[in-house]
Amino acid sequence: MYRAVGPIGSNVAEGYSRGTGQDRARFYEYALGSARESRDWYFKGRFVLGEDAAQHRLSFMTEIIRLLLTIIPQQRGGEIREPDLPYDASDEQVEDLLENVPLAS
């Protein structure tokens, strides 16, 4: 568990000092892998740690993972999200679609 948790901060610190977003993102991805591994170890160790301590650490690791999943695409210059629709429906079309929903038979 100690070997899994330690690299998270080290890789974030290493990445932060890099000059380009691509280089920073690489180290943040290493930190992400370590955070996911740590969360897994905390889950496996919940019977030894106790429910309260394990739940706290699981929540903390989940928050770190969320932050890294936000930071990595920003550093790469892109986003991880659904693309915008290439078309637009009028309000009348949307109303018609909502009122006339086909059901499977």
The model's pLDDT over 32-81, given as tens digits with 9 standing for 90+, comes to 999 999 999 999 998 998 888 888 989 999 999 999 999 999 998 865 45
Q: Is the pLDDT of residue 97 over 80?
A: no
Q: Is the pLDDT of residue 82 over 70?
A: no
pTM score: 0.69
First vs last C-alpha separation in the chain: 52
pLDDT in the model for residue 52: 86
Using DSSP, how many helices (H) and how many strands (E) does the chain show?
5, 0
